[in-house]
Amino acid sequence: MPVSDLSAIEAFLRRAPYLHAYELGDLDPAELPHCSWFAGDPVDAVALIYRGLATPTLVALDHESPGAMNRLLATIALPPRFYAHVTAGVEAALLERCDGELLGHHLKMGLAGAPIGDPGEVTRLGPRDVDDVIQFYAAAYPASYFEPANLVRGPYVAVRDEHGLAAIAGVHVYSPAMRVASLGNIATRPDARGRGHARRVTTAMCRLLRPEIDVIGLNVRADNAAAIACYRAVGFETHHHYDEWRFTARAGS
């Protein structure tokens, strides 16, 4: 059922903060206008539809009761097209109403303590850099979820070299109010790989966030061994697994 009293939802999500970093960040007052929250009564499962980007995203991650999540999803009116982050097995409830494409198996990692390493000189990016950033991701990470609004919603940092932007790290979630952030859109220009730039921007972002953020997480594909090694070198540990999907609702669903 849709809910407006969010205190019980926050308490539920805080039981597994690295699993629910996105949802916790979206409890920030600045993000609430983009969010539709759903929960059982009493709260035994929580789902979120986030509409702040071009395509809505359903977040349905379970840490206690898969049955409760499946019952909750059966009550939700779904967008015609949407991405979904779901705990493995939860997609079965969605496939009853939608056509789905699995986009990959992923890990949720969390920073265990202070970030490791010295990032050296990095550049803070902002809206003035949007054209360069778009061009960078087109070459370095075409599948990224970057949109120009990301440069306003949270910090982005970069390493530059003689050819321009060499590596970038940003955030998908940024909420000092909730003291939570999730790194994202971390990429290196193809010809600049193998020089430690991804580790530098990841470390720099963590150092930038640490004074105001307690929970620093990130999502990474489970088969991306190089990225996982990079994040572990900075101090991240694996906490949870989940899957990403693209769904299209069937007519009449």
* Residue pair 75/38 in contact by the 8 Å Cβ criterion: yes
Position 164 pLDDT exceeds 70: yes
pLDDT at 143: 83
pLDDT at 253: 57
* Residue pair 187/224 in contact by the 8 Å Cβ criterion: no
CA distance 118 to 183: 18
> What token pair was written down for 237?
């540990």
Residue 203: closest CA among 180, 221, 183, 226:
183
Is the pLDDT higher at 42 or at 215?
215
Q: Per-residue pLDDT tens for 191-250?
A: 999 999 999 999 999 999 999 999 999 999 999 999 999 999 999 999 999 999 999 998
Q: Per-residue pLDDT tens for 83-142?
A: 999 999 999 999 999 999 999 999 999 998 999 999 999 999 999 999 999 999 999 999
CA distance 184 to 85: 15
Residue positions counted in the chain? 253
pLDDT at 1: 52
Mean pLDDT over all residues of the chain? 93
CATH topology classification for 113-234: Aminopeptidase (3.40.630)
Q: In the chain, what are the domain boundaries? A: 7-108+243-249, 113-234
pLDDT at 145: 80
pTM > 0.85: yes
pLDDT at 3: 66
CA distance 24 to 11: 10
